[in-house]
Structures are given as structure tokens and as C-alpha cells.
Amino acid sequence: MSGKRAGSVAAVRKEIVTDPAYAAYHAAMQDARARRTVALSEDERDLRRELGSLGFQVASVYDFVDSVVTPPAVVPTLVAHLDLPHDKRVYEGIVRALSYAHLRPLALAPLREWFVAQNDRLLRWVGANALASMATLEELTDVDGIGEFQDLFDRPSRTPRDGWSVRQG
């Protein structure tokens, strides 16, 4: 960028996007992003196929995160994929897809086991979040390392509500 002070954001933006160094950097970043997208899609291929055979056509396991509540019928498939080799981002999507209180009877025990087996800090955090969505910290005191993530359980939105209590199985 030149030493002159730009008169507007548009002028600065125009100068940046026409800079050959920026153009090369931007192209490299776009290429890397496209390669990651293809690799993740390939990683999820069998999972998507299995979900499709159950009647759930998804572009990604992330389709069950936030916008669509994960149906109980897909939980066994998602849980099975926790034990298969996947990219870290696919595991994150699977765990987040299991992070609903209504899935507690099917997902709590496998998520506990998965959490304990993790060495990666990010995946442990994702697992702790999932556990906090369906159990109290008091229920999980026997889960090795869960206390490290106590703050996830202390949120007001994570307190037991009607229909979701410590006594629930």
C-alpha cells in the first residue's frame, strides 16, 4: 500500500485487491480451503452414505448441528463413527451432532468413553461441551479430566430443567 492516507475504505480495498502479493496470498488461501473441503467431504463419505441408508440425506454431519435437531435414529451410526478414523473436524461435527439433551439415553455413555480417550485439547473441550448439554458436573465426577472444563457446566443455560434431571437415566 502507498504511503498516502486513503480517502475511503473502498480506495484502500481497491489498492489491496490489486496488489500482486495479496492476490497470490488470497489465491493460495482459496486453494488450501478448497483442498480441505474436498478432504473433509471424502472423510465423511461413508458416514453420509450410512445416514442416507437410514433416510437422512445430509451434505455433512454438520447438517445436524444447530439447524436440525439430531434424530435419535441416527445416534447409533454417529456413535459408531466415534471409533473410526476421521479428521478432527469430522469428530467435532459428530460430537456436536450428539450434543442434545434428548439424546442422553443413547449418547451419554459413548460420549463419556470418547471424552476420556481423547488427548487433543480441542476435542476434549468439544466432548465436555457435549457432556454438559446432557448431564451435570456432579453426575460426571468419575469422568477423568472433566473437572478441567467445569466452566462449561456452570452456565445458566446448562442447569437442569423440567424433564431433564439428575435422576433421569
- Rounded to an integer, what distance in angstroms lies between the CA atom of residue 127 and that of residue 135? 12
Q: What is the pLDDT along the chain (169 residues), one digit of tens a residue?
A: 455 554 688 887 777 878 888 888 888 888 888 888 888 889 999 999 999 999 999 999 999 997 778 999 999 999 999 999 999 999 999 999 999 999 999 999 999 999 999 999 999 999 999 999 999 999 999 999 999 999 999 876 654 444 443 322 3
Distance between alpha carbon 77 and the CA centroid of its chain, in Å?
Answer: 16
Report the candidate in 83, 80, 87 with the shortest Cα–Cα distance to residue 60.
87
- Rounded to an integer, what distance in angstroms lies between the CA atom of residue 45 and that of residue 48? 5
pTM of the model: 0.78
φ, ψ for residue 164, nearest 5 deg: -140, 100
Q: Is 166 exposed, middle or buried (0-12, 13-18, 19+ CB in 10 A)?
A: exposed
